[in-house]
Amino acid sequence: MKKLFALFTAWYLTFLSMLPWHMPVVHAKPHTQPKPTEMSEFHWTPRALKLYAKQFMRMAYPDWNLSEHRALMKLWGKESAWNPKADNPNSSAFGIPQLLNLDPQTPAPLQIERGLAYIQHRYEKPSVAWSHWRSNGWY
């Protein structure tokens, strides 16, 4: 049941981040410019991003336990403070996972998915990446 809930939550958050939502705009004054209301402008809070990462990890990487999630929280907390618009002025690293050459238009959930794929490919799990970061200041 927990895996089903995690799968549904991850799917739901990803689905919402990709759909444009058009809501009626009420104009207070005739000269007021309407604001576009698309999900591309959806503001992901660090808490929502952490929840998304946790649910996605449960779904996509079932062998990773809670300690791996904690290591990821620390790693990306140090890298970007979970800011999807974090930009490294010294390199081409961008986004939550601070991946090199990541397109600035990449939605936050996709940044998380790509960052986890990178960690799995390069380090096998977040705790090893976190250990490397503590030793070298990068991963």
- Tell me the pLDDT tens digit for each residue of 39-55: 456 789 999 999 999 99
DSSP assignment of 14-81: HHHHHS--------SSTTPPPPP--GGG----HHHHHHHHHHHHHHH-TT--HHHHHHHHHHHHHHHT
Domain ranges of the chain: 2-136
Is the pLDDT higher at 41 or at 28? 41
Buried b / exposed e across 14-43, counting CB within 10 Å, b at 16+?
A: beebeeeeeeeeeeeeeeeeeeeeeeeeee
10 vs 53: CA distance, rounded Å: 8
Q: In this predicted model, which residue has the larger pLDDT, 65 or 13?
A: 65
CA diameter of the chain: 59
Would the pLDDT of 8 be above 90? Answer: no
Considering the chain, what is the average pLDDT of its residues? 84
User: pTM of this prediction?
Assistant: 0.71
- State pLDDT tens for residues 56-82: 999 999 999 999 999 999 999 999 999
Question: Per-residue pLDDT for 15 more than 90?
Answer: no
